Copies of this chain bind each other. A is one copy, B any other.
Amino acid sequence: MNLTRASSLLLCILAICLAVGVVVHAQAPAAAPAAAAAPPVPAADAQLAAAAAKAPTTADLAKGDPGGTITGTINDVPAADSTKGVTLPDVANQVGQNKIAANFIWTLVTGFLVMFMQAGFAMVESGLCRVKNANHTYMMNFMVYACGLFSYWIMGFAIQMGGAAGNGNLGGLNSLTGEHTLSILGKTWGIFGAAGFFLSGHTYDVGVMVIFLFEMVFMDTALTIVTGACAERWKFLAFCVSSSIMGAITYPIYGNWAWGGGWLSQLGTNNQLGKGYCDFAGSGVVHAVGGITALAVCFIIGPRIGKFNRDGSSNPIIGHDISAVLIGCFILAFGWFGFNPGSTLGASAAGNLRIGTIAVDTMLAGCTGTFGALIYMWMKNGKVDASMCGNGLLAGLVAITAPSGFVSTVGACIIGLVAGVLVCLSCWFVENVMKVDDPVGAISVHGTNGLWGVLSVGLLADGTSNYGGAWNGVTGSVTGLFYGDASQLAAQLVGISTLIGFVFTLSFLINLVVEFFVGHRVSIETEVAGLDLPEMGQLGYPEFVFRPEPDYIMQANKEAMAA
């Protein structure tokens, strides 16, 4: 009966609508007269005027163009002076506009994809944690976006990119002219930028906004790596403070040195080390910085209760949701198509059409990384290990990030395969030799393989890329040891040394200060109960029923509470 009434109601509405449609007739507008060409024009403009006269009229277009054959012609080139019609300079200006528009589209869309990686990280990290900390782990991954963005807007961006003027892809970025330099032994070295605080003043600029968005999402990727390694025991307030400082200072400084015109990028022009430190999309800048900071905080915060036994041996602590882990990996692999190919910062300019190669290199390295981990674990344990396969994919993607712009597809496969095995070995090493508790393997995935990615540029860059004919101001194509340029490897090793020496130290010191003022670790009671209720006030899945934790965890909890 209700169905009848609903149907009759729907029918009435449809009838009314159709009636409305029939009554109403669209009024066709009068055809716009073709632009009249002024008599004494140069030859080029006469040709354009003739073309405009032959172009489809508004009346033609009002009849609809289902095949797309009369849309997108000289009609759509705006004339600066409508009385003259379209002139050659109008055409040239529109060509420049089209180029910048294509590059903005590319950089923004790929930047959006990178931002979406936050969801992937949240799923991978939380899926690998226990259910009693699910809400907390998801929330750290959620808040890291806001914390990082805000501090990067205040000052991080200015430090990193404040001296990055000159990018022709995005219209010049001419207001970013604030790089501070030091003069050492007659050479000038960039240290940090200082233009773009709050994106105000001259940096309120359409091009600067595009580069800000793209660099910001890269920075947030680095920050979110730390939340995985410190999960299940990191106090929420400490996490907020630590992440904000990392986004404001630690990350931007190294980012400036590599990408913002700083001294690492000048190793080529100043010291003839290849094309300077080359890190196409940030195996070092993003992933190694994230992984190394994760290691520093892990040293301070210590392992989870129950992870290590008194004799130093370790227990497995299994994640609660493999579906989240694997879907998160897919989201990350999807976002990586923004991460690497987007790092050209444009599509339309000499050499930028290599974006397709970069994307294929990225997918292939992820593929061989997956195989590396799959086969290694299968041979070791006789069974497939889903979590390690996911980490193998990510390791391959991390490793290809720096070289993706410079290597062939065969090179990419090699880099990924090494990464897939390396992540398994590194996870074992971190847990069993270093005795560091990294619930999600972030140190191995991002730290170890970030360094491997930086190194691989110095080995496998094949000298075929061309991004306007120079890189870091040095003419020629980036070329690694196996293709004849050992000095490039040297530049990469300087970068790696800086990551291990400087970035680790800085991160460690900063987080020691945070330890003093805020304290990184939750109380034992909170950790045993799970962080969700004490810190977040709510469970992740309040209506579901769960099993008790394994005995060795229960026992360790009891001992910790008693201590």
Question: Cβ of A516: which chain B residues have Cβ within 8 Å of it?
Answer: 5
User: Is A410 positioned at the interface, with any CB of B under 8 Å from its CB?
Assistant: yes
- Flag if A66 contacts B150 (CB, 8 Å): no
Q: Given contacts A72-B96, A180-B24, A385-B537, are A237 and B327 in contact (CB under 8 A)?
A: no
Q: Mark A38-69, 1 if CB is under 8 A from B, else 0.
A: 00001111111011000100100111111111
- Flag if A100 contacts B72 (CB, 8 Å): yes
Question: Cβ of A95: which chain B residues have Cβ within 8 Å of it?
Answer: 74, 77, 91, 94-95, 98
- Flag if A86 contacts B92 (CB, 8 Å): yes
Stoichiometry, as copies per complex, reads 3
Q: Determine which of B42, B92, B546 lies in contact with A74 in the assembled complex, contact meaning CB atoms within 8 Å.
A: B92
Q: Given contacts A142-B329, A330-B118, are A108 and B355 in contact (CB under 8 A)?
A: yes
Cα-based distance from A150 to B465 in the complex (angstroms): 24
User: Is A231 positioned at the interface, with any CB of B under 8 Å from its CB?
Assistant: no
- Flag if A105 contacts B108 (CB, 8 Å): no
Closest CB-CB distance, A177 to chain B, in whole Å?
5
Q: Interface size class for chain A?
A: 35 or more
- Flag if B537 contacts A381 (CB, 8 Å): yes
Q: Given contacts A21-B194, A118-B330, are A356 and B209 in contact (CB under 8 A)?
A: yes
Q: Determine which of B17, B47, B145 lies in contact with A248 in the assembled complex, contact meaning CB atoms within 8 Å.
A: B17
- Flag if A89 contacts B177 (CB, 8 Å): no
Cα-based distance from A75 to B118 in the complex (angstroms): 37
Q: Given contacts A95-B98, A545-B547, are A68 and B351 in contact (CB under 8 A)?
A: yes
Q: Determine which of B237, B352, B545 lies in contact with A3 in the assembled complex, contact meaning CB atoms within 8 Å.
A: B237
Q: Determine which of B13, B356, B386 lies in contact with A206 in the assembled complex, contact meaning CB atoms within 8 Å.
A: B356
A381: nearest chain-B partner, CB-CB: B537
Question: Cβ of A541: which chain B residues have Cβ within 8 Å of it?
Answer: 320-323
A214: nearest chain-B partner, CB-CB: B356
User: Is A347 positioned at the interface, with any CB of B under 8 Å from its CB?
Assistant: yes
- Flag if A96 contacts B69 (CB, 8 Å): no
- Flag if A384 contacts B175 (CB, 8 Å): no
User: Is A341 positioned at the interface, with any CB of B under 8 Å from its CB?
Assistant: yes
Question: Cβ of A330: which chain B residues have Cβ within 8 Å of it?
Answer: 116, 118-119, 122, 142, 145
Q: Which residues A299-332 have CB closer than 8 A to chain B? A: 318-324, 326-327, 329-331
- Flag if B537 contacts A384 (CB, 8 Å): yes
Cα-based distance from A177 to B109 in the complex (angstroms): 33
- Flag if A203 contacts B102 (CB, 8 Å): no
Cα-based distance from A333 to B142 in the complex (angstroms): 11
Closest CB-CB distance, A154 to chain B, in whole Å?
7
Cα-based distance from A142 to B325 in the complex (angstroms): 11
- Flag if B71 contacts A207 (CB, 8 Å): yes
- Flag if B96 contacts A352 (CB, 8 Å): no
Cα-based distance from A241 to B537 in the complex (angstroms): 39
Apart from A44-B47, A61-B171, A64-B201, list 14 A-B contacts with CB within 8 A: A2-B518, A61-B174, A74-B93, A76-B96, A94-B96, A97-B348, A101-B348, A108-B359, A116-B331, A153-B364, A199-B408, A213-B363, A383-B535, A543-B546
Q: Determine which of B6, B17, B86, B543 lies in contact with A320 in the assembled complex, contact meaning CB atoms within 8 Å.
A: B543
User: Is A271 positioned at the interface, with any CB of B under 8 Å from its CB?
Assistant: no
- Flag if A200 contacts B97 (CB, 8 Å): no
Q: Determine which of B21, B135, B334 lies in contact with A155 in the assembled complex, contact meaning CB atoms within 8 Å.
A: B21
- Flag if B389 contacts A143 (CB, 8 Å): yes
Question: Cβ of A514: which chain B residues have Cβ within 8 Å of it?
Answer: 9
Cα-based distance from A322 to B368 in the complex (angstroms): 33
Can you report 10 residue pairs joining A to B where beta carbons are below 8 Å apart?
A24-B180, A26-B162, A51-B93, A62-B202, A75-B172, A101-B353, A122-B326, A143-B370, A143-B374, A199-B360
